[in-house]
Chain A
Amino acid sequence: MAKQKMRNVPFALKKYSSEQLKGALRKMYLIRKFEEGAENCYTRGLIHGTMHLSIGQETSAVGSCMPLAADDQITSTHRGHGHCVAKGAEVSRMFAEFFGKETGYCKGRGGSMHMADVEKGNLGANGIVAGGIPIAVGAALSSKRLNTGKVVLCFFGDGANNEGAFHESLNMASIWKLPVVFICENNKYGMSTSIERSTSVKNISERAAGYSMPGVTVDGNDFNAITEAVDTAVEHARSGNGPSLVESLTYRWRGHSKSDRNRYRTKEEINDWIDRDPIIRFSSFLVQNSVLNDEEVKAIEISVDAEIEAAIEFAKSSPDPLLSDVTRDVYTEVAQ
């Protein structure tokens, strides 16, 4: 489709091809159905431990990762399945990891909170709030010192922005002008504590000023808005101008974890966000702009359903780790 009227053309349409946009939609569906599939498996008692679902935050994840090159890196959070898929992970290996299998991304040792896909640049989800922030800055330091040109996307939530590590990391990234983009996915709650009760600024992006870096707040459920903001930040970093802070406003439909009773928010609020499903919003946008039609959307859904089903089968039939391997990979075996 023609992109002549640049000024009024939405950013996504300007920047990305139809194939790329369809790919983005497919990824969002993949995330949604992955989360639902995981939830389903959990309810059936097939998955050990809890999980932190990002249903409702798909657009933020996919939109943020769109501007990245294949070898750019991300660090993620305990709510990181979306980021993992957005950075190109295979859902089969993700499910295998959930099932604790040897074929999982972490060979069953990491589980949901530590999912990683190092080959695709995903340095790992982190079970410690703000645990991944300094690590992302370290990766950016490597990029600068080794001149690899990589940019690092550092995902974290609104809760993390109050950790000491956030402060120290943004400060150092700024003084050393490191190629890192800090993406705060503000879904209004740090577990049960609302942003109003926990954070001394109204918009987390205001804190960027404290570290002399650009800061912006965008609607994370609006693909155009989030992808443009991150794209700007990535370019800023890649051209050697250092870090930025992008606050992506979004919302999680499910509780913090599987033990969450949702006592801290109302059903009305949750339903209000569900009614504004970001995936539907994006698919409508694409259909409206003739990137694809309703049937193709349906086809994507069906194809994703099949992929998820196959992935779960793969995971179920994968081998369990051997008990005798319990201490393997604590240290690196060095060839003598």
Chain B
Amino acid sequence: MNISVKNPDTEPVEMSYSEAIKDALDIALKTDERVILMGEDIGVYGGAFQVTGDLVHSYGEDRVMDTPISELGGAGIAVGAALTGLRPIFEFQFSDFATLAMEQIVNQAAKVRYMLGGEVSVPLVMRFPAGSGTGAAAQHSQSLEAWLAHVPGLKVIQPTTPHDAKGMLLAALDDPDPVMIFEHKLLYKTKGMVPQGHYTVPIGKANIARPGTDVTIVATSIMVHKSLAAAEELAAAGISAEVIDLRTIRPIDRETVLDSVEKTSRLACVYEGVKTLGIGAEISAMVAESHAFDFLDAPILRLGGSENPIPYNPELEKASVPQVDDIVSNVTNLVKGKI
């Protein structure tokens, strides 16, 4: 676990994913005057997912700013602020609304540094509650991280545990470039041990969540949890799966993935975003064109979201993304040479 802890003496405490994020925001607001939070209903309402909570009471409306419903304008203001000395953290109420702000995220934030020949940096952090499973249907359930990961100039992360949610947000604040954080809604209430005080978890480094020898499962966000559950079942059936929590999807930690595939000779990618042209496609290609190709003993498998908008009906909703059973059966077939 690669972290740098500034208060190694304090005991870690158990907290939820959203509490961990709030903790990071609190530390940031407290220690760096340049940090401001922007988003819809993040003030007294406490944020749509109650992440910001009561921060406005501690730091005031000037630093915890409720914006009007103006994603494009708001995102652009965040870009301008980041360009000129502030450290804004912009919260989108749902990742789906990133679509309204794409102009400022993709044409401006991602490109200003490059277009200006390196004269400026855009130290902007944006947070996106993402993913399906809450019955919010098609326009409030998407996983669009691959869209943004496709853009040079952005960094895109998907922390999966409270520990990483806090540490990677704090790392994002240290980063001089725009960092897009996709938080799966179903993770907000999950709990874990979190060190107190300031620490960072590096962006660009994957984590081997569970070592194994028969197959490498590269997963993102909530699919890491499902893959770990699947790995338990697979182990009972005699299959040792190595689960890699990718954590950062731009830039991908090639080394960790390739080393693992060389070791196990099999690869399955599990992700919630639509399967076609998604993160798994990138990981598969990355492995296939690398030195790890020589060690593949089976085709590369992808399990991703199905080719439809997320449906309202709960069974259809579940059937639209990989579940633990899907992972178990598909990986079993992969390891048994049936694919």
Contacts and interface: CB of A to CB of B under 8 A. Distances in A.
Interface of A: 73, 75, 104-110, 114, 116, 118, 123-124, 126-128, 131, 133-143, 145-146, 148, 164-165, 167-169, 171-172, 175-176, 327-332, 334
B73 A107 contact: no
A168 B72 contact: yes
Given A139-B81, A330-B113, A164 B68 contact: no
B86 A106 contact: no
B83 A134 contact: no
B51 interface: no
Given A168-B70, A332-B113, A138 B78 contact: yes
B79 interface: yes
A123 B83 contact: yes
B84 A139 contact: yes
A134 B73 contact: yes
A172 B117 CA distance: 30
Nearest to A117: B119
A124 B79 contact: no
A138 B117 contact: no
B79 A138 contact: yes
Interface in B75-117: 75-86, 88, 103-104, 107-108, 112-117
Given A134-B77, A138-B76, A138-B78, A146 B34 contact: yes
Contacts of B137: none
Interface string B53-84: 00000000011010110101111111111111
Contacts of B115: 106, 109-110, 114, 116, 124
A54 to B, nearest CB: 20
B71 to A, nearest CB: 8
A109 B104 contact: no
B103 to A, nearest CB: 6
A133 B73 CA distance: 8
B177 interface: yes
Given A124-B112, A133-B73, 19 more contacts: A75-B80, A105-B116, A106-B115, A118-B116, A118-B120, A128-B103, A131-B108, A134-B73, A135-B80, A137-B73, A137-B80, A168-B76, A169-B77, A172-B74, A175-B68, A329-B113, A330-B152, A331-B177, A332-B113
B107 A131 contact: yes
Nearest to B112: A124
B176 interface: yes
B153 interface: yes
Contacts of B78: 138
Contact of A165 (B34, B65, B103, B153): B103
A142 B68 contact: no
Contacts of B86: 138, 141-142, 145-146
Nearest to B70: A168
A172 B107 contact: no
Nearest to A327: B152
A142 B81 CA distance: 5
Nearest to B107: A128
B118 interface: yes
Given A134-B104, A165-B76, A171 B68 contact: yes
The 6 closest A-B pairs by CB, nearest first: A138-B80, A134-B76, A168-B73, A107-B117, A329-B118, A135-B80
A169 B78 CA distance: 11
B36 interface: yes
A140 B80 CA distance: 8
29 contacts: A73-B84, A106-B115, A109-B115, A110-B115, A114-B115, A114-B116, A123-B80, A123-B84, A133-B73, A134-B72, A134-B79, A135-B80, A138-B79, A138-B86, A139-B84, A140-B80, A141-B36, A142-B85, A143-B84, A145-B36, A146-B85, A164-B72, A168-B68, A168-B73, A171-B68, A327-B152, A329-B113, A332-B113, A332-B177
B121 interface: yes
Nearest to A75: B80
Contacts of A131: 76, 103-104, 107-108
A141 B80 CA distance: 8
Nearest to A124: B116
B67 A141 contact: no
B83 A135 contact: yes
Contacts of B114: 109, 329-330
Contact of A142 (B70, B75, B80, B108): B80
Given A116-B119, A169-B73, A138 B81 contact: yes
Interface in B26-53: 33-34, 36
Nearest to A321: B117
B121 A172 contact: no
Interface string B173-184: 001110000000
Contacts of A168: 68, 70, 72-74, 76
Contacts of A169: 73, 76-77
